[in-house]
Amino acid sequence: KCLFHTEGLFKPEKKKKKNFDMKNAVIGNNRQKANLIVLGAVPRLLYLLQQSSSSLELRTECAVVLGSLSMGTENNIKSLVDCHIIPALLQGLLCSDLIFIEACLRCLRTIFISPVTPVQLLYTDPTVIPHLMSLLSRSQHTQEYITQIFAHCCKTPEHQTVLFNHGAIQNIAPLLISPSYKVRMQALKCFSVLAYENAQVSMTLVNVLVDGEQLSQVFVRMMQRDKPIEMQLTAAKCLTYMCRAGAIRTDDNCIVLKTLPCLVRMCSKERLLEERVEGAETLAYLMEPDIELQRIASVTDHLVSMLADYFKYPSSVSAITDIKRLDHDLKHAHELRQAAFKLYASLGSNDEDIRKKITETENMMDRIVSGLSESSIKVRLAAVRCLHSLSRSVQQLRTSFHDHAVWKPLMKLLQNAPDEVLVMASSTLCNLLLEFSPSKEPILESGVIELLCSLTQSDSPALRVNGIWALMNMAFQADQKVKVEIVQALGTEQLFRLLSDPDTNVLMKTLGLLRNLLSTRPHIDQIMSSHGKQIMQAVTLILEGEHSIEVKEQTLCILANIADGNTAKELIMTNDDMLQKIKYYMGHSNVKLQLAATFCISNLIWNEEDGSQERQDKLREMGFVDILHKLTQASDPNLCDRAKTAMQQYLA
Partner 1 sequence: MEKSYWVFIERTRVILTFMLAYKYASLQCSIAIFDVKNTYKTSEELILAIHLLQQDLQPLLAGLTFKELFTLLTLGAGSLLTGDPAFNYQEHELNERLKRLYPAVNEEETPLPRSWSPKDKYSYIGLSQNNLRVHYKGHGKNHKDAASVRATHPIPAACGIYYFEVKIVSKGRDGYMGIGLSAQGDNMNRLPGWDKHSYGYHGDDGHSFCSSGTGQPYGPTFTTGDVIGCCVNLINNTCFYTKNGHSLGNKLSALSFCPCLSFQPNLYPTVGLQTPGEIVDANFGQQPFVFDIEDYMSEWRAKIHSMIARFPIGERLGDWQAVLQNMVSSYLVHHGYCATAMTFARATETMIQEDQTSIKNRQRIQKLVLAGRVGEAIDATQQLYPGLLEHDPNLLFMLKCRQFVEMVNGTDSEVRCFSARSPKSQDSYPGSPNLSPRHGATNAHLHNTGADSPTCSNGVTPTNKNKSHNKYTGVSSASASSSPSSSPSSVNYSESNSTDSTKSQPHSATSNQETSDSEMEIEAEHYSNGVTESSTRIMNGTYKHQEILQADDNSVDDSCSSRQLCGGNQAATERMIQFGRELQALSEQLCRQYGKNATHKKMLQDAFSLLAYSDPWNCPVGQQLDPMQREAICSALNSAILESQNLPKQPPLMLALGQATECVQLMAKVRSGSCSFARVDNFLH
Which residues are near partner 1 by CB under 8 A?
224-226, 256-258, 261, 268-269, 296, 299-306, 308-309, 361-362
Closest to 223 in 3D by CA, of 275, 269, 261: 261
Return contacts of 564-568, CB within 8 angstroms, 24+ apart: 564/521, 564/524, 564/603, 565/518, 565/521, 565/524, 565/525, 565/528, 566/521, 566/525, 566/609, 566/610, 567/525, 567/528, 567/529, 568/524, 568/525, 568/528, 568/529, 568/532
To the nearest whole angstrom, how small is the minimum distance from the Cβ of residue 19 to partner 1?
38
Q: Are residues 509 and 495 in contact, defined by beta-carbon separation less than 8 angstroms?
A: no
Q: Indicate the residue among 253 and 488 with the shorter CB distance to partner 1.
A: 253
Question: What is the residue type of 58?
Answer: L
Q: Indicate the residue among 224 and 500 with the shorter CB distance to partner 1.
A: 224
To the nearest whole angstrom, how small is the minimum distance from the Cβ of residue 207 to partner 1?
23
318 phi, psi to nearest 5 deg: -65, -30
Question: What is the residue type of 450?
Answer: E
CA distances from 305 to 199, 284, 308, 468 (A): 34, 15, 5, 37
- Looking at the chain, the number of H-run helices and the number of E-run strands are 44, 2
To the nearest whole angstrom, how small is the minimum distance from the Cβ of residue 221 to partner 1?
10
Closest to 245 in 3D by CA, of 208, 203, 199, 285: 199
Q: Indicate the residue among 368 and 600 with the shorter CB distance to partner 1.
A: 368
Q: Are residues 301 and 265 in contact, defined by beta-carbon separation less than 8 angstroms?
A: yes
Q: Indicate the residue among 363 and 457 with the shorter CB distance to partner 1.
A: 363
To the nearest whole angstrom, how small is the minimum distance from the Cβ of residue 634 to partner 1?
45
C-alpha span between 9 and 39 (Å, rounded): 12
Q: Indicate the residue among 1 and 225 with the shorter CB distance to partner 1.
A: 225
To the nearest whole angstrom, how small is the minimum distance from the Cβ of residue 261 to partner 1?
6
Q: Are residues 136 and 172 in contact, defined by beta-carbon separation less than 8 angstroms?
A: yes
Q: Indicate the residue among 364 and 411 with the shorter CB distance to partner 1.
A: 364
Could you say which DSSP state residue 256 is in? Answer: I
C-alpha span between 383 and 392 (Å, rounded): 15
To the nearest whole angstrom, how small is the minimum distance from the Cβ of residue 337 to partner 1?
18
Q: Indicate the residue among 350 and 526 with the shorter CB distance to partner 1.
A: 350
Quote the crossing angle between the two packed helices 637-651 and 591-604, to the nearest 10°. 20
To the nearest whole angstrom, how small is the minimum distance from the Cβ of residue 397 to partner 1?
23
Q: Indicate the residue among 98 and 272 with the shorter CB distance to partner 1.
A: 272
Q: Indicate the residue among 220 and 381 with the shorter CB distance to partner 1.
A: 220
To the nearest whole angstrom, how small is the minimum distance from the Cβ of residue 254 to partner 1?
12
To the nearest whole angstrom, how small is the minimum distance from the Cβ of residue 239 to partner 1?
15
DSSP string, 184-239: HHHHHHHHHHHHTT-HHHHHHHHT-EETTEEHHHHHHHHTSTTS-HHHHHHHHHHH
